Structure 1
Amino acid sequence: MAAVHESVLDAIGGTPLFRLARLGAGIAAPIYAKAEFLNIGGSVKDRAALSMVLAAERDGLLRPGGTIVEATSGNTGIGLTIAGRQRGYRVIAGVSDRSAAEKSDILRAYGAEVVTAPTNVPQEDPRHLFNLVRRLAEEIPGAWLANQYDNPANPDAHIRTTGPEVWEQTGGRVTHFVAGVGTGGTITGTGSYLKEVSGGAVTVVGADPLSSQYGGGDGSPWYVESIGHFHHPETVEDRWPQAYRSEVVDAFERIPDREALLTARQLAREEGILAGPSSGAAVAAALRVARRLGPDDLVVVLLPDSGRSYLSKVHSDDWMRQWGFLESSDGLRPLIDDAGPLVTVTADATVGAALEALGAAPGGVAPVVLARTAWPYGVSATEVVGSVSREALAAALADGGAKPDDPVGALLGPTLPTVGVGQSPAEARAELGEGHPGVLVLVDGRAVALLDRAQLAG
């Protein structure tokens, strides 16, 4: 008989495990997915949200008529809104401008007030999302900032619920637990419980975007929402979440965006599980781990949220092509293979240094980037801040508008249009239009080549 609850909050937790029989075919170790998208708010964050609200009430931080404020990529805000509205609070969710639009729509549907702010700026920047919500919490009487990144009630939710569920559901047979790392609460809480109850026998593996700093990346942007640790090159003090305890994680599997996104799509098409991109990253990591194991091992991978929040992104063929995650036979791959290395100019370069770099740029045009990264395919498209041309710089030097030692930043042109490697030359020409000297081609969301009009004319 199905359970009967007096409140939707009573339905948080108790999510099932599904064996990934198709994706795990031919692998000796069984892989079971914990379906956290079946929580009432659609994600694992319902657990932490309810835990944080109850703890704040218990500690006198949240009182009747109060306001819950939080910075969120979406899921924690949804959980806080459900819990908060059920218990009579106003909820203000600060959402990253990089989050899927569906998440803001869902937040509003549940009754949250949504404000949007950037996260791709230095942490000290007053425009940063975290600084925005802190100001709101200080200015609004009776407001409480949930602060999921540093709130101990976040990992505690998983010590009390998620970990015990995994142990009970597997009859204590789980040997490896795999999860993404965002705030760190889920992997810290669940992992620490499983380690303790198993006498240290359970191995905890973090699934991390390739460029995330948790697993040793350079901190440059990636396209899988809700996990990883980003580091803006101009950030002065890099603060890591207190909810994350690095000693709980035994190893990381660093997953490229393309592998994560395509695995999320496979989950839907082969396993009947419509999950988000961070679930794709976690399953990709779990598959890697399981291939190294035997039949006596058992892998549990946590699927954080539903793919319904990402229909405009990972589950959209158009979006995947536009950002260079899907390729096609009539795409731009042959043209970029012939284009040569992408020439870039950093935003802090001088006019003289930029002119020297532009000597090797086809058409004398190059994108200006915030910082060059160690990424094997090129610079991050999200770090492109404009463009610069040899013609414009030479003219500025000739008429005295600039000197060779001046910063190039004052002479930036507009950001060049972008197309994905899977798009056709005709689509690239359409983006080029009449006013741009070239288009940037993206592979896995990062600029790898610049194609000018002559290269696209064929």
Structure 2
Amino acid sequence: MIFSKVTDLIGNTPVIQLPLTQADSRLYIKVEKNNPGGSMKDRMARNMIVAALKSGRIQPGGTIVESSSGNTGIGLALASIEFGLKFIAVVDHHAAQDKISIMQALGAEIRYVKGDYGENEVAVIERQRMAAEIASEISGAVFMNQSDNAANAGGYADLVREIVHQIGRVDAWVGCVGTGGSITGIAHGLKIHNPDTVTIAVEPEGSIVFGKPGKPYYQSGTGTPKGDTVGLVLDYSCIDYGEQVSDACAFETARYLARRFGLLVGGSTGGAIYKALELIGKGIIKGNVALVIADGGEKYLHTIFNEEWLKERDLTAPEIWDQLDNWFASSAILECKS
């Protein structure tokens, strides 16, 4: 097929199956980093803009303002080009520099929040406040507010249709939870196809989505930090299990997948895959287990794929590789090592 614009490339991403030692389970990973902006957020970003245009919230030539750790911002930058809109991204120090550079390359204006924040603290509250303020000061501007935007969750309907077509019955879905848009939209959609689908939402240790004590964390674009409020778009009723994963487990899993299978995935995806494997190993989920590569590791080469960066922050845990070896089929591991 030949397409006429880059946003036509959103969706229809491939699925890869990784071999497991558990004979009663299969692990399917949908490669959402193949979207043009490099993440699953391309889907919902465009959907939010289309919904706002249809409702009249945004007029042709208008300005979109959004708080983003990067991936949603990249998706909004792409869709803004398609619809002739201006885009202002409000970011903090927690956003990967490569993501900011991509937004700038796509024509986005970048505004940085100010404040004394630790390296592992996410300034979401200040980002959102600043984004709302900027939008209020510009004629024709709209703060997209992805955390409370219903079109966020609605942007994943096609992903659900695709994964069901690709693998058939989905017995369990494991996904990261940040604003709650992806886990809510996907979980609701999958349960329509199969009410028995078990849905697991994974947040970083230190996130407050499921009521546990908050603390700083390094995983980017996922979770809700201490002091912030969980977005209105998150529907807890469609989530069967809420799980937490440490930065070390998430990052070591991402590094393992790169070395063993040639898959470059981001840190939050590493955490989701670790939890999926752990729950399969405990027999909590089985059958066709599916998840996504939310974004690619190419955006984190200077952080989670940098040995020195990890050691300086005490984020290395080589014993996790032994556990991962036990969960993945040994024949595949030997083949990849040879």
Same fold (TM > 0.5): yes
**Cα shift readout 1:323-381 (whole Å, capped 9, x = no counterpart):** 111279xxxxxxxxxxxxxxxxxxxxxxxxxxxxxxxxxxxxxxxxxxxxxxxxxxxxx
Q: CA deviation at 1:28?
A: 3.6
Instruction: For 1:168-187, list aligned pairs within 5 A.
Output: 168-171=165-168, 173-187=169-183
Q: Which among 56, 81, 86 is matched to residue 77 of structure 2?
A: 81
2:151 is the counterpart of 1:161 = no
Q: Distance in 2 between matches of 1:18 and 1:109?
A: 30
Q: CA deviation at 1:292?
A: 3.2
Partner of 2:321: none
2:312 is the counterpart of 1:322 = yes
Instruction: For 1:429-444, list aligned pairs within 5 A.
Output: none
Contact kept? 1:97, 1:118, Cα under 8 Å: no
Change (3 A) 1:174 1:96: same
Partner of 2:68: 72
Question: Number of aligned pairs?
Answer: 313
Change (3 A) 1:147 1:161: same
Q: Which among 214, 229, 251 is matched to residue 261 of structure 1?
A: 251
Q: CA deviation at 1:52?
A: 0.4
Q: Which among 261, 268, 277 is matched to residue 278 of structure 1?
A: 268
Q: Distance in 2 between matches of 1:210 and 1:327?
A: 16
Partner of 1:113: 109
Letter in 2 for 1:129: R
2:248 is the counterpart of 1:252 = no
Partner of 1:435: none
Contact kept? 1:96, 1:119, Cα under 8 Å: no
Percent of pairs with identical residues: 35
Partner of 1:348: none
Q: Distance in 1 between matches of 2:281 and 2:25?
A: 7
Contact kept? 2:249, 2:317, Cα under 8 Å: no
Instruction: For 1:398-437, list aligned pairs within 5 A.
Output: none
Contact kept? 2:42, 2:76, Cα under 8 Å: yes
Contact kept? 2:198, 2:285, Cα under 8 Å: no
Q: CA deviation at 1:126?
A: 12
Q: Which among 5, 8, 17 is matched to residue 7 of structure 1?
A: 5
Q: CA deviation at 1:216?
A: 3.5
Q: Distance in 1 between matches of 2:87 and 2:215?
A: 31
Partner of 2:333: none
Q: Distance in 2 between matches of 1:242 and 1:100?
A: 26
Contact kept? 2:52, 2:58, Cα under 8 Å: yes
Letter in 1 for 2:267: P
Letter in 2 for 1:137: A
Q: Distance in 1 between matches of 2:310 and 2:205?
A: 18
TM-score (norm 1): 0.65
Q: Distance in 1 between matches of 2:281 and 2:6?
A: 39
Q: CA deviation at 1:50?
A: 0.5
Partner of 1:229: 224
Larger relative contact order, structure 1 or 2 (CA cutoff 8 Å, min sep 6) = 2
TM-score (norm 2): 0.88
2:35 is the counterpart of 1:39 = yes
Q: Distance in 1 between matches of 2:189 and 2:51?
A: 20
2:101 is the counterpart of 1:98 = no
Letter in 1 for 2:13: T
SS of equivalent to 2:232: coil
SS of equivalent to 1:69: strand
Change (3 A) 1:12 1:132: same
Change (3 A) 1:166 1:119: farther
Q: Distance in 2 between matches of 1:253 and 1:41?
A: 28
**Cα shift readout 1:401-447 (whole Å, capped 9, x = no counterpart):** xxxxxxxxxxxxxxxxxxxxxxxxxxxxxxxxxxxxxxxxxxxxxxx
Contact kept? 1:207, 1:253, Cα under 8 Å: yes
Partner of 2:193: 197
Letter in 2 for 1:43: S
Q: Distance in 2 between matches of 1:219 and 1:210?
A: 8
Q: CA deviation at 1:27?
A: 5.6
SS of equivalent to 1:114: strand
Q: Distance in 1 between matches of 2:186 and 2:124?
A: 34
Q: Distance in 2 between matches of 1:222 and 1:108?
A: 26
Q: Distance in 1 between matches of 2:292 and 2:28?
A: 9
Q: Distance in 1 between matches of 2:18 and 2:30?
A: 10
Q: Distance in 2 between matches of 1:291 and 1:281?
A: 15
Contact kept? 2:28, 2:291, Cα under 8 Å: yes
Q: Which among 125, 130, 133 is matched to residue 132 of structure 1?
A: 130
Change (3 A) 1:317 1:149: same
Q: Which runs of no fewer than 5 residues in structure 2 stay unpaired?
A: 118-122, 319-338
Instruction: For 1:306-455, list aligned pairs within 5 A.
Output: 306-326=296-316
Contact kept? 2:172, 2:285, Cα under 8 Å: no
Partner of 1:375: none
State which structure, 1 or 2, has the greater radius of gyration over its C-alpha atoms.
1
**Cα shift readout 1:266-324 (whole Å, capped 9, x = no counterpart):** 11111211111011011011111222349971100122101111111111111111111
Q: Distance in 1 between matches of 2:243 and 2:103?
A: 32
Letter in 1 for 2:311: R
Partner of 2:231: 241
Contact kept? 2:253, 2:273, Cα under 8 Å: yes
2:215 is the counterpart of 1:220 = yes
Q: Which among 51, 58, 61 is matched to residue 55 of structure 1?
A: 51
Change (3 A) 1:94 1:291: same
SS of equivalent to 2:59: coil
Partner of 1:447: none
Partner of 2:329: none
Q: Distance in 2 between matches of 1:307 and 1:295?
A: 27
Q: Distance in 2 between matches of 1:126 and 1:278?
A: 17
Q: CA deviation at 1:215?
A: 3.3
Q: Distance in 2 between matches of 1:169 and 1:36?
A: 14
